[in-house]
Amino acid sequence: MPFKITNFTTLPQQEQKFVHPVQLSYSQDGSKRSWEAVKSHDSVSVLLYHRDKKAFLLVKQFRPAVYMTHNRTCTYELCAGIVDKQVSLEQITLEEIDEECGYAVPLASLEKVSSFFTNVGITGSQQHLFFATIDESMKIHKGGGISGEQIILEFIPLNEVRAFLFDESIAKTPGLMFACFWFFEKYGKPSE
C-alpha cells in the first residue's frame, strides 16, 4: 500500500471534526505559563483473544500521522474507537468489535481491565481497556470497519506475541503492549 503526504494545511476551526488545537494559559508556582494542546475524544479499546486459534486478534491500519513522522505504512492496534455518543463504554466497545472485527460478543463476556491516559503531553485523553474471548461461533461478517475504513485483521499466535511486542520494526501502540502484558500476568505466559 503506497502512501505519500502531499500537503500540510492548518484547518480552520469549523472544519475540525475530531481534534481541536488550543493554547492553554495557566499559572504554576506563581509563574505564568502556556502550553499547546489538542482537545479530543476519549476512547475504548479491547484485547480480543481467539480461544481456538490461541491468538490475539489485532487490527492493522494506515495512520497518516505515523506515516508522516516515521514513514511506517501501517500500525498494529487493539480494536478501538472514540467515545462520541451517549451510550455506555461497554456498548461502544461491542459496536467496535462488530464493525472492525466482525464478531458479536455478548455483553456478559466483556471484561473491564483498566483505564489510562494517552498522549499526556498533547491530548490527555482517557482510554478504557476491555478484554473478551472470541471464537468462530461469534463471527457474523468479515469486519474491516465502516465508512471507508480499511482495517486489516491480523491474528498473532500467543507463542509469537513476545517477539512481536519487542520487534521495533513493527509500529504498535502502547495500549496494545500494556494489554498483552496484562493478559500474560493474569493468564500466564505461553510456552515458546
Residue 170: pLDDT above 60?
Answer: yes
**Nearest-CA neighbor of 106 among 97, 114, 115?**
97
**pLDDT of residue 136 exceeding 50:** yes
Q: What is the pTM of this model?
A: 0.88
CB 101 within 8 A of CB 149: no
pLDDT digits (tens, 9 = 90+) for 82-134: 999 999 999 999 999 999 999 999 999 999 999 999 988 888 899 999 999 99
Residue 66: how many CA atoms within 13 Å on its side-chain side? 15
| Residue 19 included in any domain | no
The residue range of the domain holding 162 is: 41-187
- Is 167 among the domain residues? yes
pLDDT of residue 143: 95
Per-residue pLDDT tens over the stretch 10-62: 546 666 677 778 787 888 888 888 888 888 899 999 999 999 999 999 999 99
Q: Tell me, yes or no, whether 26 lies in a domain.
A: no
Find the CATH number of the domain harbouring 164: 3.90.79.10
In the chain, the number of structural domains is: 1
Residue 79 resides in a domain: yes
> Is residue 178 a part of any domain in this protein?
yes
Between 68 and 168, the higher pLDDT residue: 168
Residue 93: count of CB within 10 angstroms of its CB = 26
pLDDT at 2: 47
